[in-house]
Amino acid sequence: MKLILKENPDVELTVTVEYPKQSSQVSRIIQKLRTEEQFLIGSENCRNYKVLVSDIFYIESVDKRTFIYTKGMVFRSEKRLYQLENELKEYDFVKVSRTCLVNINELVHIKALANSRLEAELSNGEKIIVSRTYIP
């Protein structure tokens, strides 16, 4: 793969991907680029914010409330976890338990635990339990 970068202050940001044949690598690159434009609405202290999908580490549902976790902030979402799961399935988010979606791009490693469960560590140091049902 060859990467060509040109800085030109007179033009709008444009990304061109040229490829000889559609492949999984090309699909992943395109998906990464699309993720940079996608956002969710999250609230914190009675203010609404645009939260970039690429900035999200994981999303968790606790007591019928949905929380979006980024590097330094936690936002509340008005949407239910299943709604966010449907919106984010094409953006590398996977369901790891009944109450949690994880951005696999932030995954550092996975460790086996007792009871056939796994522990996923994210790049921010958070550890998430992957339940047996969602291991596949």
Could you read off the pLDDT tens digit of each residue along the chain, which spans 136 residues? 888 888 889 988 888 888 999 998 888 888 777 767 788 999 999 999 999 998 999 999 999 999 999 998 999 999 999 999 998 988 889 999 999 999 988 999 999 888 778 999 999 999 999 988 887 7
pLDDT of residue 72: 86
pLDDT of residue 115: 79
Q: Pull the structure tokens for residue 88.
A: 């984010």
Other residues' Cβ atoms within 10 Å of the Cβ of residue 93: 21
pLDDT of residue 123: 92
What structural domains does the chain harbor? 24-104 (2.40.50.40)
pLDDT of residue 120: 92
Q: Which helix (H) or strand (E) holds 82?
A: helix 81-88
- What is the rounded CA–CA span in Å between residue 133 and residue 115? 12
Other residues' Cβ atoms within 10 Å of the Cβ of residue 121: 15
Longest distance between any two alpha carbons in the chain, whole Å: 58
